[in-house]
Structure 1
Amino acid sequence: MSRAPSVCDRETWNRTLAYLLLGFVCYALPWSVFAALPIPPDQSSALRLQGSNTIGAKLGPALVKGLLEQQGFSSIRILPGDAENEQKIVGINAQGLDVTIEVAAHGSGTGFVGLSDNTADLAASSRPIKSSEADALTALGDMKSRDAEHVVALDGLAVILNRDNPLDALRTEQVAQIFAGEISDWAQLGGRPGAITLYARDDNSGTYDTFKELVLSANGKSLASTAKRFESSDQLSDSVSQDPNGIGFIGLPYIRQAKAVAIAAGESQPMLPSVTLIATEDYPLSRRLFLYHPPQQANPWVAALTRFAHSPRGQAIVNESGFIAQTVQAVTVAANEAMPAQYQTLTREAQRLSVNFRFQEGSSTLDNKALRDIERVASYLKDQDKLRDKVVLVGFGDAKKDAARAELLSKLRAMAVRRELAKHGVLFRDITGLGEEMPVAANSADEGRIKNRRVEVWVY
């Protein structure tokens, strides 16, 4: 059983004594005693969540509310905060005391600044922490470690148009040219003539950071200065939906009245941002939503919220909030002629699980999400009585000069997943590597190569 971090400074020690005097059990005790999370005696916020607007606008408050409900709080309200895009979640415990949790949603980068200057306990981010940000927070510990980084949901960046726009699909390089201002009229793409209007998130937004990395920078482009910028996802989406010549990018729950187009990258086929393609992270503009905290975090509310976010109820709230949960499901895949024969056989005889295992950059080591997905997949296989001779692992990789080397590396990735699942008693039907077949992203950039280096799980 996991334990909360020990107390490490005088300020935290003083707070701990205060909590104990109020009769609450606090730090350095088993998780099971957190049925009564401490309320600060000075009526300050028990938890300060800061960062991504994508998370903070809806998902963050919903997870906080769910945690309070689980902990037995009543009269839970979500109230406006002290500024725009800020909220307070307030509840009452069994002793009649109020607890307040603050959520500020001003962009992913602001969450890491908040951890640095101690104005936040937990950072919400719709992109991975940058190396420069992790370096700036070194005094707090390794912010890229499994103890610090939590993938709580999956999302897809949708490229959105007005519903009357006849275009249905775009390649990522075309999207980059559009937002760089190089393609400025819809007629250049075979659409109706009209000057294209660009709508983009602001510089603090993790959504913008993700778009910049996956689309603009990957194609050597920069955002045109004519783009209209928004802090609010809802406002951006509504503006595009009301503009016949508009185009924007947005998180999946914020498509609202606009139209999402199918996206292709590299040699992949155009894909709409569907639940399954985002869950497996095959969709070219899929992304992860993160919570970050110092690995030796002393505030028990931080541990409580991150653990709740990973729980079945927490993942149900992810789904209810319009994002993609990490709950493992079996899905049927339709065969097509472009698939290798061996893969077509799988589509006819088995089902694919809604998870892909991916690896740390430049490494054969599973990344933090994959390590948690091992536990999710093992639990699913046990519940479905599929631990013995029912599982096939299929590895994929990026293109190499030697196709045989690509195939070998892809099988070695599958073997790395095998080793971890075998610890949970899984006996496999087959393990194979398909090399550079069926890419889901362009191999011309690191981000694309990382996405192509993956392992799928199929069950009979």
Structure 2
Amino acid sequence: MRLLPFIFLLWLTQVSPHLLAQTRHEALFTLHGSNTIGSELAPRLVQGFLQGQGYRQVIIKPGNLSNETRVEALTPSSNQTVAVIIEAHGTATGFGALKQNPTDIAMASRAINSEELRGLSQLGNMRSFSSEHIIAIDGVAVIVHPHNPLAELTLDQLAAIFSGHITNWAELGGANAEIHLYARDGNSGTADTFKSLVLSDQPSLSGDAQLFESNRALADAVAKDENGIGFVGLAAIAQCKPLAIGQSGVDALKPEQIAIATEDYLLSRRLYLYSADQPEGSLPARFLRYVHGAEAQALVAKSGFVSQTPIAMQVRPDDGPAEYLALVKDAQRLSVNIRFHEGSAELDNKAKHDIERLIQLAKTEAFRHRKLLLVGFGDQQQTDDRALVLSRLRAITVKAELHANGIRVAPVAGFGAANPVAANTGSARLRNQRVEVWVL
């Protein structure tokens, strides 16, 4: 009898391509991939979208297997029941489903990698503006039991813990107790993000870590273990205690809204949808437009992630060049940083949508008579002068886009490699290539 579950899973694996194709045929459209997106956010977005399209009695129902969901509805003009199918078994499964053609949209809690990009080349350039859609900002939160006295860790300490080089809380100033590791499994984009940001210079994740397919299950386990530490998406912190994360020469930041929205938090990340070009006017194409709008971004916030809709916040920096501190003294900071393709002043895909959001914000009554202030920063270059020029050029690029749409912008400023939010080494330095947006 013990062999029956194994035999069933083996059978399911063999027939799953056929079943997936059949499911896709019967659905309005399908999404496969990231559990971070698919567990709650994607169903809410699909529900909101269908309601806006005139579908009636839109309800979210569990699917046939764990981490699968059906969003069912009645069509606008009849009582026919239709559904959108969401299967959330990890980012890698989304790209696999996109390649095999049993899904319309892949959900990913990390950017597509080079191998996946090549494997999907027959569908076009998956990094293009029409194929890559950033739908929310998330923070990979490092969580411990609420009674744990630890407040912050550096990236180096975090790497030593999860690679098994630090195994006792006493090594971090805590109790003399063994550290228990909790991690997401190999299909998870959360795990991929954590490994790339934290374990890139370490051998591998410790074999002692307990692995989970679900963020929620991992957080529940840490909440019951006073010696536990794990990592989850921002929306799954639940009853656990999130730690501030820093780096040598960079202040530790908690996974809080402003730090995540601006992507200054070292473990912040983007959440993506990927799709081949959809026929104009098709439901998938309309859904992909919908996720960038204010209504969908409000659902992002309700789901526990950070919306990309810019909001003005009172922020008082206490560090940086004197000219910078004087510029922003009486300004409010918007919850967005404009970012660029590596080493250039070319807007990335998120930035292009962020520009559109800034234009909409600037045209509202509350902001119509105010000016935007753009402040550029960068990573260290061969010379300070080059870093300064690039930081200013990035701010000028943003100003040109806004000015072309009639938006008032104050004279721009650039401060080179000042005020780093990450170390100026490796891929981390890309976080420093940014334009802050303030409102005067």
State the match for 1:9 in structure 2.
none
Deviations for 1:244-278, whole angstroms, at most 9, x for unmatched residues? 11000010010001100101134221101111111
CA distance in 2, matches of 1:343, 1:331: 17
Matched-pair contact (CA < 8 Å) for 2:292–2:353? no
What residue in structure 2 maps to residue 458 of structure 1?
Answer: 438
1:444 aligns with 2:425: yes
Which position in structure 2 is the counterpart of 1:142? 125
Aligned to 1:87: 69
| Match 1:195 to one of 170, 174, 178 | 178
Count of residue correspondences:
417
Q: Deviations over 1:254-312 (max 9, x none)?
A: 00011001011342211011111111111111000011100245781211211121121
**Could you tell me which residue of structure 2 aligns to residue 335 of structure 1?**
317
Compute the TM-score of the two structures, normalised by the length of structure 1: 0.88
Per-residue CA distance 1:17-64 (angstroms, 9 max, x = gap): xxxxxxxxxxxxxxxxxxxxxxx9x97111110000000000001111
Name the CA shift for 1:391/1:76 in 2 (closer, same or farther; >3 Å).
Answer: closer
Match of 1:57 in 2: 39
Correspondence list, 1:280-429, <5 A: 280-297=262-279, 300-336=282-318, 338-384=319-365, 386=367, 390-429=371-410
Distance 2:56 2:62 in 1: 19
Cα distance in 1 for partners of 2:74, 2:435 equals: 46
Partner of 2:205: 223
Contact 1:442 1:449 in 2 (8 A): yes
Identity percentage over the alignment? 46
The alignment's C-alpha RMSD in Å is: 1.7
Runs of 4+ in 1 over 3 A off after TM superposition: 296-299, 384-389
- 2:54 and 2:69 map into 1 onto residues whose CA distance is 21
1:234 aligned to 2:210? no
State the Cα distance separating 1:316 from its structure 2 match.
0.8
User: Partner of 1:29 in structure 2?
Assistant: none
Instruction: Find the counterpart in structure 2 of residue 77 from structure 1.
Output: 59
Name the SS of the counterpart of 1:430 in structure 2.
coil
CA distance in 2, matches of 1:167, 1:48: 42
TM-score by length of 2: 0.91
* Other-structure match for 1:8: none
Amino acid at match of 1:339: G
Query: Deviation of residue 387 (structure 1)?
Result: 6.3
Counterpart residue number, 1:30 = none
Q: Which structure 1 residue ranges, 5 or more long, are not aligned?
A: 1-39
Instruction: Report the secondary structure of 1:428's partner residue.
Output: coil
Contact map agreement 1:388 1:428 (CA 8 A) in 2: no
**Any stretches of 5+ residues in structure 2 without a counterpart?**
1-21
Q: Which residue of 1 aligns with 2:256?
A: 274
Deviation at 1:76, TM superposition (A): 2.0
Deviation digits for residues 196-225 of structure 1, max 9, x if unmatched? 0110000000000100111111x3342111
Report the residue type matching 1:459 in the other structure.
V
For 1:47 and 1:288, how far apart are their aligned partners in 2?
A: 23
1:383 partner SS: coil
Q: SS of the counterpart of 1:76?
A: strand
How far, CA to CA, are the matches of 2:248 and 2:278 in structure 1? 41
Match of 1:22 in 2: none
Determine helix, strand or coil for the equivalent of 1:278: helix
User: Quick one: distance in 1 between partners of 2:282 and 2:370?
Assistant: 42
Q: Aligned letter for 2:202?
A: G
Q: What SS is found at the alignment partner of 2:343?
A: coil
In structure 2, how many angstroms separate the alpha carbons of the residues matched to 1:350 and 1:299? 42
Of 124, 130, 151, 2:107 maps to 124
Contact 1:157–1:249 (Cα < 8 Å) also in 2: yes
